[in-house]
């Protein structure tokens, strides 16, 4: 540990400009999950595990942020992803909005349309970058949806999910295929394409791939590699979640 700290202190600042941006989101992956993963990784190699390190723990810089919604001390995926991708705090269970929008209220969403925050995916597209996302959830789930959707309720994934009196708002799926930046993504992979909803847990999916089942789902690693290969064709770099 002492050597790691000393090494970080003398490491020169990287002043180069990155061409590509990749954001990995461990949804719900707090410190206890990180610790358990680190220990499990070490024990797979016959070690006690607590001294092991995950790859992202080897990065030269790490940080911890406070996670909460505008109106809730305990955050959910929707307001958390909005903070990640838009840089603003949002009410509990809302997507791509700020504190002005009231949960479940379509009128408040449309009233403040001019103030909708812009996501990093939209900024990347305006800069001429190729964009995409890969997820083990459904592609309309709160975390990926925060990249492209504005909704007063994360659960309004399809028109049937929206109460009749609120249907003057677009559902999340329609925003993905009809609006910017959703319709301009170069890569979209996840549940809804390889499964009817979320993908299976990797332990189950890996077993199906080993048995060469024709409908076996790809792994997150396989999807990520395919996405990077596709997005790398652009001259101006890419953004991938």
In the chain (241 residues long), the average pLDDT of successive 10-residue segments reads: 75 88 93 94 95 90 89 96 97 98 98 96 98 97 98 98 97 98 98 88 89 91 97 96 98
* Separation between Cα atoms, residue 133 and residue 122, nearest integer Å: 13
Q: According to the model, what pLDDT value does residue 193 have?
A: 81
Q: According to the model, what pLDDT value does residue 175 have?
A: 98
Q: Is 77 a catalytic residue?
A: yes
Q: According to the model, what pLDDT value does residue 58 have?
A: 87
Residue pair 219/208 in contact (Cβ under 8 Å)? The answer is no
Q: According to the model, what pLDDT value does residue 215 have?
A: 86
* Separation between Cα atoms, residue 77 and residue 234, nearest integer Å: 30
In 3-state terms, what secondary structure has residue 187? strand
Q: Is 143 annotated as a binding residue?
A: yes
Q: According to the model, what pLDDT value does residue 52 have?
A: 94
The pTM of this model reads 0.90
Backbone angles phi and psi of 30, in degrees to 5 = -80, -175
Report the candidate in 155, 157, 171, 135 with the shortest Cα–Cα distance to residue 92: 155
Could you identify the residue written with the tokens 């609120």?
166
Could you identify the residue written with the tokens 């900024």?
123
Q: What would the two tokens of residue 152 be?
A: 């007063």
Q: What would the two tokens of residue 69 be?
A: 């919604």
Q: According to the model, what pLDDT value does residue 1 have?
A: 64
DSSP-derived secondary structure letter, 95? B
* Separation between Cα atoms, residue 65 and residue 17, nearest integer Å: 24
Q: According to the model, what pLDDT value does residue 28 have?
A: 86
Backbone angles phi and psi of 238, in degrees to 5 = -145, 160
Q: According to the model, what pLDDT value does residue 14 have?
A: 82
Which residue in 77, 80, 119, 151 is the catalytic one?
77
Residue pair 122/219 in contact (Cβ under 8 Å)? The answer is no
In angstroms, how far apart are the furthest CA atoms of the chain?
61
E-strand spans in the chain?
21-22, 130-138, 187-191, 238-240
Q: What would the two tokens of residue 114 be?
A: 């001019």
* Separation between Cα atoms, residue 90 and residue 231, nearest integer Å: 30
Q: Is 179 annotated as a binding residue?
A: no
Domains, the chain: 19-27+119-240 (3.40.720.10)
């Amino acid at each position: 540990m002492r050597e790691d700290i000393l090494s970080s202190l003398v490491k020169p600042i990287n002043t180069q400009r990155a061409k590509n941006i990749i954001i990995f989101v461990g949804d719900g992956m707090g410190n206890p999950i990180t610790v358990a993963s680190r220990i499990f990784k070490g024990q797979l190699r016959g070690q006690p595990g607590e001294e092991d390190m995950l790859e992202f723990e080897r990065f030269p810089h790490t940080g911890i942020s406070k996670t909460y919604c505008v109106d809730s001390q305990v955050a959910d995926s929707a307001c958390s992803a909005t903070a990640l991708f838009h840089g603003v705090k949002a009410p509990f269970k809302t997507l791509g909005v700020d504190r002005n929008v009231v949960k479940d209220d379509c009128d408040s969403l449309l009233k403040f349309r001019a103030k909708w925050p812009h996501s990093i995916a939209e900024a990347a597209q305006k800069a001429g970058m190729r964009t995409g996302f890969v997820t083990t959830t459904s592609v309309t789930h709160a975390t990926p949806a925060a990249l492209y959707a504005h909704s007063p309720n994360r659960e309004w994934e399809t028109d049937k999910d929206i109460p009749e009196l609120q249907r003057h708002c677009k559902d999340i799926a329609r925003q993905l295929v009809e609006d910017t930046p959703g319709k301009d993504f170069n890569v979209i992979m996840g549940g809804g394409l390889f499964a009817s909803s979320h993908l299976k847990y990797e332990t189950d999916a890996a077993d199906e791939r080993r048995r060469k089942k024709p409908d076996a789902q790809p792994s997150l690693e396989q999807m990520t590699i395919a996405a990077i290969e596709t997005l790398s064709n652009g001259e101006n770099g890419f953004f991938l979640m």
